């Protein structure tokens, strides 16, 4: 980073503090403040369990004390792999309070991802649950501990087994941690996963101050208040339901978070009815399922005021069905774990809500659209979206080389999204120039899978491309060149699964190819591959 850009960062940080975007509190203290304001109101609901802000705050303290007694300290990293649950929320805030940094894993992450996160972040602990959806997470964690010396503790459902094999409940009432080192608001609070464009995993360091702003400003934009009942249907380890405004934004407004184990309508509809849910967030493929289910389920969704939809392209025809079917407003969200959030506004004209992905959350989000040579495109034309601002990262975690490619000299993040600006100032996402598959909102880095497949004895070369899919938005199709060997999809899939690849990253379709279509620059022409698969 040049001296000039360092100077810019310092100036910008000063501005963000002066404007009140960055508050001098870590997320653990933020929860304390929200508790002081909203103490007896209900903060969290899971099944039959209901916790007021006071009760939640006490549980967070007890968990923080237990984790501290175990030996976790400010600045340590831990792997957090829990489903939507009280345990997730309590543990996350306990870690924030200690300044211990969680890697926000998805339940679908397997050995391959775990190995990458361990190599990169050197976590001291792995916090998870015994089983989820029939999968034994206990054994995943215990095996990871054998492979990675950095993992001193494995915590299963709040219980840690010490080196003599004695299990012990972690939560306790010891308050010694309060006197210990506290994180600064500008320290990293959390490491989010990046969909990535490369073969190596990247982690996204979000600070306490920027993440609290992200959640609070989003909550204000979405009109959240103490009456808000937010249904966390998507997995809360994801940025969207965690902080856009999600769980953290709801707490900032004194509202209630209702946790769903899965985003399936069979689970969500009864919760919306019972808890009188007002707000929730989905990815487009789930919107299709929810809307279709309304035709035969006839649920009472009258409490619902707003459905946020983001993570991948929303078909305007589907968007147009939301209000008539669910009876609530729609908001399009175009966001990224790296920071920038674009929202359609609640009072935008129907046309804008149905056909655009909105505009940035904050007036200090600096956005540029550039052509292939890095020059600003003329008004109305599409270009790659670059961004810097109060809640957009300045670099990936421990990834200097990658950062030189992903950020400009002026500190802008290169999103890889190909975007156009309408005359009214809203963004329309037209495509992307990054090498990923956006499968139902889950991002798959093509090079990660290609590199693994090239190690297969019968595969000479492989290229993973997105194909349009009615249900998923995009599905992944792998083209492989074999040395005449016969190969089928199940064989390819089991090869990858045996290497610990998460199930959603395993290709949906296989095509065998005899020659590669090439670009002018001599690279595999993925556009042509997509066209070939289409017909």
Contact residues for ligand OOB (CB under 6 A)?
195, 239-240, 244, 310-313, 332-337, 341, 357, 415, 417, 429, 432, 438, 441, 443
CB 216 within 8 A of CB 205: no
Residue listed under structure tokens 């669910």:
326
Nearer to ligand OOB, 104 or 313 (CB): 313
For residue 227, the minimal CB distance to ligand OOB (Å) is: 23
For residue 42, the minimal CB distance to ligand OOB (Å) is: 25
Nearer to ligand OOB, 116 or 333 (CB): 333
Strand partners, 495: none
Nearer to ligand OOB, 67 or 233 (CB): 233
For residue 26, the minimal CB distance to ligand OOB (Å) is: 22
Both tokens of residue 143?
């095996």
Can you tell me the distance from the alpha carbon of 399 to that of 463, in angstroms, rounded to the nearest whole number?
Answer: 25
DSSP result, 350-391? HHHHHH---EESSTT-EEEEE-TTSPBPPTT--EEEEEE-TT
Nearer to ligand OOB, 141 or 192 (CB): 192
Nearer to ligand OOB, 172 or 232 (CB): 232
Can you tell me the distance from the alpha carbon of 231 to that of 244, in angstroms, rounded to the nearest whole number?
Answer: 13
SS3 state at 205 = strand
Nearer to ligand OOB, 311 or 383 (CB): 311
**Long-range residue pairs from 163-168, CB within 8 A, at least 24 positions apart, any chain:** none
Nearer to ligand OOB, 44 or 385 (CB): 385
For residue 284, the minimal CB distance to ligand OOB (Å) is: 8
- Please identify the residue of the shown chain whose CB is closest to the bound ligand OOB: 335
Can you tell me the distance from the alpha carbon of 507 to that of 10, in angstroms, rounded to the nearest whole number?
Answer: 44
Both tokens of residue 420?
């156009």
Sheet containing 101-104: order of strands: 167-169, 159-161, 153-156, 125-128, 77-81, 101-104, 188-193, 203-207
**Nearest-5° Cα angle at 504, 501 to 507:** 80
What is the sign of the dihedral through the CA atoms of 462, 467, 473 and 475? negative
Give Rg (Cα) of the chain.
23
For residue 157, the minimal CB distance to ligand OOB (Å) is: 28
Nearer to ligand OOB, 110 or 432 (CB): 432
For residue 50, the minimal CB distance to ligand OOB (Å) is: 27
Nearer to ligand OOB, 212 or 337 (CB): 337
For residue 98, the minimal CB distance to ligand OOB (Å) is: 26
Spatial CA neighbour of 365 closest among 342, 348, 388: 388
Can you tell me the distance from the alpha carbon of 233 to that of 263, in angstroms, rounded to the nearest whole number?
Answer: 4
Q: CB-based contacts of 317: which residues, under 8 Å, 6+ apart? A: none
CB 505 within 8 A of CB 475: no
For residue 512, the minimal CB distance to ligand OOB (Å) is: 29
Nearer to ligand OOB, 221 or 341 (CB): 341
For residue 439, the minimal CB distance to ligand OOB (Å) is: 11
For residue 112, the minimal CB distance to ligand OOB (Å) is: 18
**Nearest-5° Cα angle at 210, 1 to 94:** 120
């Amino acid at each position: 980073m040049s001296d000039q850009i360092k100077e810019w960062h310092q100036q910008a940080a000063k501005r963000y503090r002066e404007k009140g975007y960055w508050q001098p509190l870590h997320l653990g203290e933020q929860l304390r403040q929200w508790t002081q304001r909203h103490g007896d109101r209900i903060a969290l609901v899971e099944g039959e369990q209901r916790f007021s802000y006071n009760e939640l705050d006490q549980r967070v303290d007890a968990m923080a004390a237990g984790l501290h007694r175990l030996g976790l300290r400010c600045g340590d990293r831990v792997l957090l792999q829990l489903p939507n649950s009280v345990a997730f929320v309590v543990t996350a805030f306990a870690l924030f309070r200690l300044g211990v940094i969680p890697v926000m894993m998805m339940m679908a992450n397997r050995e391959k991802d775990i190995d990458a996160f361990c190599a990169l972040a050197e976590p001291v602990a792995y916090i998870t649950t015994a089983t989820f959806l029939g999968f034994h997470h206990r054994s995943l964690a215990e095996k990871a501990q054998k492979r990675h010396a950095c993992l001193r503790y494995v915590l299963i459902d709040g219980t840690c087994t010490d080196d003599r094999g004695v299990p012990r409940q972690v939560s306790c009432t010891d308050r010694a941690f309060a006197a210990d080192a506290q994180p600064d608001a500008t320290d990293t609070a959390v490491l989010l996963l990046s969909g990535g464009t490369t073969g190596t995993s990247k982690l996204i360091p979000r600070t306490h101050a920027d993440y609290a702003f992200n959640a609070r400003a989003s909550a204000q934009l979405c009109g959240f208040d103490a009456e808000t009942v937010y249904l966390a249907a998507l997995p809360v380890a994801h940025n969207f339901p965690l902080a856009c405004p999600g769980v953290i934004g709801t707490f900032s407004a004194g509202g209630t978070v209702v946790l769903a184990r899965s985003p399936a309508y069979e689970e969500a509809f009864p919760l919306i009815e019972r808890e009188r849910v007002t707000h929730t967030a989905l990815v487009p493929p789930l919107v299709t399922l929810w809307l279709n289910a309304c035709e035969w389920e006839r649920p009472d969704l009258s409490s619902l005021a707003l459905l946020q939809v983001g993570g991948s392209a929303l078909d305007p025809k589907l968007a147009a069905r939301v209000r008539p079917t669910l009876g609530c407003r729609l908001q399009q969200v175009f966001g990224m774990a790296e920071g920038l959030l674009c929202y359609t506004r609640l009072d935008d004209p129907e046309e804008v809500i149905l056909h655009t992905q909105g505009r940035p959350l904050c007036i200090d989000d600096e956005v540029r659209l550039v052509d292939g040579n890095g020059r600003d495109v003329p008004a109305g034309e599409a270009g790659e979206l670059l961004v810097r601002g109060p809640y957009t990262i300045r670099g990936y975690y421990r990834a200097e080389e990658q950062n030189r490619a992903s950020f400009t000299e002026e500190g802008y993040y290169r999103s890889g999204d190909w975007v156009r600006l309408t005359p009214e100032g809203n963004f329309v996402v037209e495509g992307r120039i990054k090498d990923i598959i956006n499968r139902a909102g889950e991002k798959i880095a093509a090079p990660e899978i290609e590199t693994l497949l090239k190690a297969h004895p019968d595969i000479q070369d492989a290229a993973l491309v997105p194909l349009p899919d009615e249900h998923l938005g995009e599905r992944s199709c792998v083209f492989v060149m074999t040395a005449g060997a016969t190969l089928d999809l199940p064989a390819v899939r089991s090869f990858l699964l045996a290497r610990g690849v998460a199930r959603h990253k395993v290709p949906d379709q296989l095509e065998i190819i005899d020659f590669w279509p090439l670009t002018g620059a001599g690279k595999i022409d993925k556009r042509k591959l997509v066209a070939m698969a289409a017909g």
